[in-house]
Amino acid sequence: MSVLDASIIPVLATIPVPNMSLTVADIARQEGNTLVIDVGYPIAQVKASVESEIRSALEQQNIVCDLRVEQRIPSVTPGNIKQLIPGVKNIIAVASGKGGVGKSTTAANIALALAYEGATVGVLDADIYGPSQPQMLGVPNLRPEVLPQNKIVPLNALGLQLVSMGSLVTEKTPMIWRGPMVSGALQQLLTQTQWDNVDYLIVDMPPGTGDIQLTLSQSVPVSSSVIVTTPQDIALLDAKKGIEMFRKVNIPVVGIVENMATHVCSQCGHEEAIFGEHGGAKLAEEFASQVLGRLPLKLAIREQAESGKPTVAADPLCAESLQYRQIATVIAADIWQRAMTGPSGPTIEIADD
């Protein structure tokens, strides 16, 4: 049966679901004598502890039943967009108002964090002019297989499915294209890629608010977006434009990632906010959003990304990786929350202002 036994509900209602306004009672069902907990975001690293906590709570009340915790990642899609991407459940856009703030590094680490927690993850490098994901994910010289009907098979990069213009041209080939050609190239990468049951497609956006951003928002169902910035005022000005852009097309902005928040001297340990303080927090407050994480200006993050093994892949248990993993979990939990409680997603509204 699917209805919970009356004796189980009060016990499960005391156990909160992390990052959600729900309790375990809200996501549980019964199959005969088996209690099934359906979790809607990746939980590979904490599944055992979740099972242990629930089992312990039941045993304290002398309730005996089999327990099964299952990962069931839902999809959030806007109802007015007909062109879904086969093989993709959710699209997460990682964007910034300006370049040089660590957006691509953040996108790669969020993707790796979701995969580390048990999701199937794809990465679309939408920066047609300056693709960097092949280098960051350790496949700078590989070319994808092209099937009949020009279907592209994504590269396997650190367990991620990767498609990038950087894998289709040489590193010395400049993309001297006008806007319509760039938009057309993005459409091809989106629709002609043979994605294999991807739970989350991370789209590494180019900086700014131009053709690529508009093409993405009008063409495919974007579930969520994340804004990456540094604390300095100039970066925050551009980040505001990025948030406003997503709001105008009704794509939810889950939160803000503040990069280069502080610098810790490798010699003496002195910590200094060289790009300013509380910029991300002020931006989040202004737009009723949240700061998902504050990453330091650290040599290792840069070196790991440039070597083809970003922080989460290089050391998944270090302090910075734990931040990226928490950021990824909050993003995924937000998608699950909206799939359960809200309308099926954003609708597209283009305004002249």
* Structure confidence at residue 351 (pLDDT): 39
∠ CA 164-166-168, nearest 5°, is 85
CA-nearest of 328, 349, 346, 299 to 42 is: 328
User: Which of helix, strand or coil describes residue 155?
Assistant: strand
Could you list the pLDDT tens digit for every one of the 353 residues in the chain?
A: 355 778 889 999 999 988 888 899 999 998 888 899 999 999 999 889 989 999 999 999 888 888 999 999 998 865 545 567 889 999 999 998 778 889 999 999 999 999 999 999 999 998 877 788 999 999 988 888 888 888 899 999 999 999 988 787 656 555 555 556 677 778 888 888 999 999 999 999 888 766 777 778 777 888 999 999 988 888 888 888 888 888 888 889 999 999 988 887 777 877 888 887 878 888 888 888 999 999 999 888 999 999 999 999 999 999 999 999 999 999 999 999 888 876 444 333 333 44
| Phi, psi values for residue 210, rounded to 5° | -110, -145
CA-nearest of 300, 290, 282 to 232 is: 282
Q: How many residues appear in the chain?
A: 353
Question: What gap in Å lies between CA 142 and CA 307, rounded to an integer?
Answer: 15
C-alpha pair distances (Å), 88 with each of 266, 314, 321: 42, 27, 25
Q: How many of the other CB atoms lie within 10 Å of CB of 131?
A: 23
* Structure confidence at residue 342 (pLDDT): 61
User: Which of helix, strand or coil describes residue 151?
Assistant: strand
Lookup: tokens for 235: 């970066």
Evaluate if pTM is beyond 0.75: yes
* Structure confidence at residue 169 (pLDDT): 63
What superfamily in CATH does domain 88-341 come from? P-loop containing nucleotide triphosphate hydrolases (3.40.50.300)
* Structure confidence at residue 83 (pLDDT): 60
C-alpha pair distances (Å), 333 with each of 37, 57, 74, 117, 319: 15, 23, 10, 12, 21
Locus of tokens 């960097």: 132
* Structure confidence at residue 186 (pLDDT): 80
Residue ranges per structural domain of the chain? 9-71, 88-341
User: Which of helix, strand or coil describes residue 112?
Assistant: helix
Contact 194, 154 (CB under 8 A): yes
